[in-house]
Structure 1
Amino acid sequence: MEIKDKRVVLTGAAGGMGSILARELVKLGANLAMVDANAKALDAMHAELPDSHAIAGDLSSAAGCTVVADQCLEKLGGIDLLINLAGINSFAAYEDENPEKIELMLHVNLLAPMWLARAFLPVMQKNNAGRIVNVGSIFGSIGFAYFAVYSASKFGLRGFSEALRREVADTNIKVTYIAPRAVKTPMNSDALMRMGEATGMNMDAPEDVVKKIIAAINNNRKDIYFGFPEALFVNINVMFPRLVDKALAAQNRIARAFAKGEK
């Protein structure tokens, strides 16, 4: 899909990676609606990109997503491309996870993309055109210890993307699932960054991931996984999950101390 002159909705547009992607989309000529829950950061982005549209909204509920979708359609006059980027991470031992945080992560990471796709799909069906891009994670194919909720949400997003793609296969509506490995963004806690350093976790710069997201859109990719050897381990995990258990065991023992706040 060529981005120039396309009506694009980007969630998480004021975040670390979202702001970089928003700038690139505008640079490529998109008519962009930027969505984010952080109204102050969104206002700053809008000041930087005055030709775009800023829509502050709550994506943690179906009602909030409906309001956001309606505002986007009003501002853009339709939609050609939805990029579901907004997300919440958590690095913690599962027994320490706050139940409210669990619910919030599932709502923002999984249900919001589903609610927004549901809201925009009738417009795309009417035009028989459009693309939905769901930004997942390698963590959505490999369940990593101390990221149980995050992994669960991204596993769900991957499954939703696959199912929806098959559902619209006889139309000109396309679904892309993008799975980066860990990315260096402010979403990562200090404990996570220290754990990553201690275990040698590979992390990509957000600018590099944005380039690959744009390329995936331009090249009409269905699924794309970023990073070696993580992308290889996705396939190994499908065929030999117990082998991956053993490969990650030592790393998990190191990670536990950081997840429990002991280091």
Structure 2
Amino acid sequence: MSLSLRAQRILLTGAAGGIGRELARELASRGARLGLLGRTDASVASLEHLVATQRMDAVVIQADLTDAAARRAAVARMTQAYGGLDVLINLAGVLDFRFFDEVDPAMITRALQVNVEAPMQMVREVLPDLLDRGTGRIVNVGSTFGSIGYAGFAAYSASKFALRGFSQALRRELDGTGVGVTYVAPRAVRTAFNPPAVHLMAEKKMMHMDEPAWVASSIVRAIERERSEAYLGFPESLFARINGVLPSMVDNALRKVLPDLARHARSTV
């Protein structure tokens, strides 16, 4: 099956980030009508400039996705602009790289609020209308670390495991309704989302990083092909599958890099 994105009304959270901007460009190039969400004044200004320079058919919406009223207002603004929406893409997220005994407790709360609760609540906000019309798609952007619990990313991994489980359960729940669910799991991406220590680890070949434009185009392909799941980047996509069946193999592989990884994680301030 193939989904044409022309004239599709797509609400994209996290639109101001490195992947989000590239994703907005990809979607706009296919003729989609976009609602681009940013949280801060700076992100909104950046998105407005992007829309103007790229001549996108888009509205820019400021919203803190951890606030229920802001979520409702964002969906209402999209409905006001385009009469509703056809696709929700939950991209916004937060990440903290450090060993768990050093994690700020407030960061644990924020990771769960932004990476898990906000996407679930956004889905809950738009789902009744999609079900009434019998069509639409929910796209949740997770992570390879939502399948592989990785040292230094305990809170992040926990939140992405939860998002993956939610996506799987929701997809099965919506079977036969006309509303589809796509879960996309990139590996590390070369953006400011990742702290300097993670970029340094990539330079030392301790992990791989992809360019945001490639990730964005891969997300769009997954949507167009109406895929249930898409794991991006090899060999991480393979390790994600192996970890589900033989986690001890992944334990042994990661044990070898743990001392170096610890030096990077514990040097993060």
Q: TM-score range by the shorter chain?
A: over 0.9
Task: Give 1:93's aligned residue.
Answer: 99
Distance change in 2, residues 1:136/1:262 (3 Å): closer
Task: Give 1:152's aligned residue.
Answer: 158
8 Å Cα contact 1:17/1:207 also seen in 2: yes
What's the CA shift string for 1:87-108, capped at 9, x where partnerless? Answer: 1111111111111111111111
Tell me the distance in 2 between the aligned counterparts of 1:226 and 1:169: 24
Task: Give 2:144's aligned residue.
Answer: 138
Task: Give 1:253's aligned residue.
Answer: 259
Q: Which residue among 41, 44, 47 is the counterpart of 1:45?
A: 47
Report the count of equivalent residues. 263
8 Å Cα contact 2:10/2:89 also seen in 1: yes
Gaps of 5+ in 2: none
TM-score normalized by structure 2?
0.94
AA aligned to 1:74 is Q
1:107 aligns with 2:102: no
After TM superposition, give the deviation of residue 199 of structure 1 in Å: 4.5
Tell me the distance in 1 between the aligned counterparts of 2:187 and 2:37: 23
8 Å Cα contact 1:199/1:251 also seen in 2: no
Tell me the distance in 2 between the aligned counterparts of 1:101 and 1:61: 17
Task: Give 1:77's aligned residue.
Answer: 83
Task: Give 1:28's aligned residue.
Answer: 30
* Identity value in percent: 43
Tell me the distance in 2 between the aligned counterparts of 1:87 and 1:207: 18
What's the CA shift string for 1:174-202, capped at 9, x where partnerless? Answer: 00000111111111111121123235311
AA aligned to 2:9 is R
Distance change in 2, residues 1:246/1:30 (3 Å): same
After TM superposition, give the deviation of residue 142 of structure 1 in Å: 0.4
Tell me the distance in 2 between the aligned counterparts of 1:152 and 1:65: 23
Q: Which residue among 180, 184, 195 is the counterpart of 2:186?
A: 180
Tell me the distance in 1 between the aligned counterparts of 2:79 and 2:51: 19
RMSD: 1.5
Task: Give 2:230's aligned residue.
Answer: 224
1:235 aligns with 2:235: no
Range moving further from structure 2, 224-233 or 39-48: 39-48
